[in-house]
Amino acid sequence: MTPDLNCRRSAESAIKAKAGEWLLDLEEAGADFDRLEAACRDWRAEDPRHDDAFRLAERAWSALRQSEAARSEEQLLAVVADEGPAVVAPWRESRWAKALVPTAIAASIAGALVLVRTDPEPPLRIETPTAEVRTVALEDQSEVTVGARSAIDVQFTRSERRVVLADGQAFFTVSPDRDRPFVVEAGDTEVVVTGTKFDVWRSGERVRVSVLEGSVVVRPRENSSLPRSIREQRLAPGQVAERDDGGLHARNVEADEPGSWRTGRLYYENAALADVIADANRYSQAPIRLADTRVGALRVTTSFRTNALDDFLASLEATLPVTIDRASNGAVVVAQR
C-alpha cells in the first residue's frame, strides 16, 4: 500500500471517528446542546466529507439502537471509524475503552453498517412548473438554477455528487472538491467537473452543454448508444458541446453567455426552430405547436423575453416563411407559409 493511500485512509478514519465523537457529545450535551450543535454545524460545513461522515454516524447509531446485541458507545466509534470493533479513537480512549466487543456483537455491528451503506437515501427531486425558474442551494454549497418545466434528481455520496437532468435546463455553480467529482447525467451523456459554472440543456437524448467559468468534460455514459469512436470533449469558457443524431461534437460560440436564460431572456444562433419552440413552451401557458417537421427544421437566430411570447411569435412571422394561427382551444400553430 502506498504512503499516499495510507495517509488518505488514515485521514478518512479520523474524520469518521470525529463524526462519532460529535454525535455522542450532542446526545450528552444537556443544557450545552445549542453551543455544541452550532460547533458541530461549523465542523460539518468545513468539508463535504465531514458532513457525509456525520450523516453516516447518525444512520449507524440509529441502526445499532435497534439491535438487541449492540448498543454501546464504543461500538459506534468503532463502526464509524471503520477500523473494527476493538478500536476506539485515541482522544476518547480514557472514557470509552472499557471492554472489547465480542465477536457476535461485532458481526451484528457489521450487519448494521452494511445496511446503512447499501440503503442510500432516495434522490432529491427538484421540479418546476410552466414559467417558473427556481434556484436551490445544495448540501455541498453548490447551487443549481432549474429552468421552467424542468426536473432534476440530486444524489450525493461519499465519493461522488451526481445530478440527473430528466428534462429541460439547469445552470450549475459547483463548489470545488477534487476528491468528489460533480457529475451531471443527461440521457446517455454525462458532464464531469470538480468546480465550475456551466449550463446543461436536454430534450430527449439531445443534450447541449455550455461553460461560463472553469472547464468540464463531456463524455458518453457507460453503455451509451453513442459509437465507441466518440471521445470525451473538454470544454473551456465560450465553448459548447452538443449530443445529437450526429454524435457528440464541440464548437465555439459568441451569441450569448451560458445561463443567460436565468435573467428571463433566451438567445439562439442558427438554431432549429423546433428547439426554440420547445423552450418557448416551457414558459407558455398556451401550447405552441409546429404544423410539421419541415417547419421545425427551419433555422433561426433570435432573442426574446420569456414573458413576451406574443412578440416572439410575431417576429417569427415577420422573418420566416411561416404563419401563426390560433386554434379555438387556445393552442398556437406555427405552419409553413
53-77 pLDDT per residue, tens? 777 776 666 555 444 444 455 555 5
Per-residue pLDDT tens digits for 152-200: 999 998 889 999 999 999 999 999 998 899 999 999 899 999 889 999 9
Q: What is the pTM of this model?
A: 0.63
Give the model's pLDDT for residue 221: 83
pLDDT at 121 over 90: no
- Position 102 scores a pLDDT of 35
Name, of 202-206, 221-225, 286-290, the range with top average pLDDT.
286-290
Residue 41 clears pLDDT 70, i.e. is over it: yes
> Higher confidence at residue 6 or residue 148?
148
Q: Is the predicted pLDDT of residue 150 greater than 80, yes or no? A: yes
**Cell match 468528489: residue?**
180
What band does 7 get if pLDDT is binned at 50, 70 and 90?
low
Residues of the chain above pLDDT 70, percent: 76
pLDDT number for residue 328: 80
Question: From residue 166, how far is each of 74, 135, 204, 254 by CA, in Å?
Answer: 44, 17, 9, 27
pLDDT at 206 over 80: yes
For the chain, what is the HEC assignment?
CCHHHHHHHHHHHHHHHHHHHHHHHHHCCHHHHHHHHHHHHHHHHHCHHHHHHHHHHHHHHHHHHCCCCCCCHHHHHHHHHCCCCCCCCHHHHHHHCCCCCCHHHHHHHHHHHHHHHHCCCCCEEEECCCCCCEEEECCCCCEEEECCCCEEEEEECCCCEEEEEEEEEEEEECCCCCCCCEEEEECCEEEEECCCEEEEEEECCEEEEEEEECCEEEEECCCCCCCCCCCCEEECCCEEEEEECCEEEEEECCCCCCCHHHHCEEEEEEEEHHHHHHHHHCCCCCCEEECCHHHHCCEEEEEEECCCHHHHHHHHHHHCCEEEEECCCCCEEEEEC
- Mean pLDDT rounded to a whole number for the chain: 79
Query: How confident is the model at residue 14, as a pLDDT?
Result: 77
Q: Residue 147 has which C-alpha cell?
A: 429552468
Q: Comparing C-alpha atoms, which of 104, 51, 96 is closest to residue 74?
A: 96
Please name which of 49, 53, 13 lies closest in space to residue 161, comparing C-alpha atoms.
49
On whether the CB atoms of residues 148 and 130 are closer than 8 A, the answer is: yes
Half-sphere exposure of 62 (CA within 13 A, CB side): 9
**What's the Cα-to-Cα distance from 214 to each of 80, 198, 236, 238, 252, rounded to whole Å?**
36, 8, 6, 10, 15
Question: Does the pLDDT value for residue 95 go beyond 60?
Answer: no
Higher pLDDT, 12 or 276: 276
Domains, in order of start, for the chain? 3-118 (no CATH), 124-252 (2.60.120.1440), 264-336 (3.55.50.30)
Q: What is the pLDDT of residues 226-273, one digit of tens each?
A: 776 677 889 999 899 998 877 788 888 766 688 989 999 999 988 899
Q: Tell me, rounded to whole angstroms, the distance of Cα 135 from its chain centroid.
A: 13
pLDDT at 114: 42
**Is residue 34 predicted with pLDDT exceeding 70?**
yes
